[in-house]
Structure 1
């Protein structure tokens, strides 16, 4: 496990050891020399302090090659550190963005599944309500047909009873007219008989008997007509009773229709609910399509970032190779003539 808190002295010793061994004292090399301990930021900060100390120490004790080597080494470390920081930042941002997209995609998929389940359940409920509505409509049509037939029958019976009653009333009027004529004839006969009583007693007696028989016959006919009239009145009463029963049945049918009205209203409300659920399901599907398109765009952006990162990595590697070549050239031994002239200049 890596150990934090690397000191400046440890970094200085590791750096000198690498330089003596002819190796480039990069951040990673110093960290390996320290046993893979300490953070790269801490090592980089100590290296900057060491460079500042060496830069302010007055006249450099080493040669120009050593100063150049130190400068190039520091430059290489800085380039490597900045490239690593940029790589880590891009990697962290990319991971965070991918994680957010995955969460949004899962959420959209869950909402779409929930919307589909709700739509299927609403479809089943709508089918059930439609079947119930069809049954109610069939029963209502049957009740209406039966009610119409009953009204027609009762109307026909009532019209027949009214016609019979009119006929009976006409017969009664005719009988009363005949009875009045008979009374008038009887009164006339009585007057004539009183005038001719002495003269035509026997004829009067015979005519009186004849008229009495006619009156008895008319009375019997009147009694028979009155009996027919009572029968007609009874039939009229029966027809009125049937009409009252028919009206009561009609009121019951009207009550049943009023009871069925709330069911039809509930069915209309359920139909509206199903339409709303369908609208929600369509909105969820549209949102899912939008998120999927956004996920596609972010994948393309991710690919572009990866290509940019690959380019930055290739640039960093190219710069590192250039630095290594420069270090190799600097580390080569100088010719003998140049070494003597440098020694004379130092003397």
Structure 2
């Protein structure tokens, strides 16, 4: 959706509120008290009333906007800006565009949106054949003991470990060697911040993200040894010259994500790295969709924000 089209559809607060209600009705309203899906709309209070138990549900309840006092139009503008570009917008830039005085509410709003992006992608598992590898992203830790000497390289306190899985399969039919592209075609992508690369911990994460009996192509790391029981593991030594042949898409995704975060956000706290990766994967997985804004709206009305311990509701 172009900027002019956006403001034609959503010129004011009332139009945004009507559209948000329409999206909620499409997804369905469920009573928190009895689980019924049959409701009356009480126009004078702008709430749904359950036909069974008379419990009332507000327009924002159970969505990403729950407990937020920001106008609907703020949320719509933020969702449009985030989805209108392949890159991203920082919370500070969105604050400038909206013209809000305080930074903290806008920062919180943007992270809530990134959180529901991750919740939406968690509904899907990767399958068929995937590439699997880990990446190390430079982050800042507020809780780090500054008296502790910094480690170098892998395991540094300045780095967060991210497990990256990308669906990819060989397609000989459309391959053109003159374009210097890989024979593999990428599907969906998942990035997950993990605490350690111990094989027991890593196996738990993979089982949550990847269907059983999927073929997994990875390097020869011992961290993947526990995957042999549930997956068709094809691990091999990957020389630098053959990275673009064996594991092309995970390394491309890691490289592009690092460049994006460095370019737009400059500094990432380790507590919020997952939210930024959620946004990257959400947009990557819907790169061929006509209107990502609609997809984000569906995620926004279907999921309650979930970061720093807040549970989905």
Q: Same fold (TM over 0.5)?
A: no
Bigger Rg, structure 1 or 2: 1
Greater relative contact order (Cα < 8 A, sep 6+): 1
Larger fraction in helix: 1
TM-score between both structures, scaled by the size of structure 2: 0.17
TM-score between both structures, scaled by the size of structure 1: 0.15
Larger fraction in strand: 2
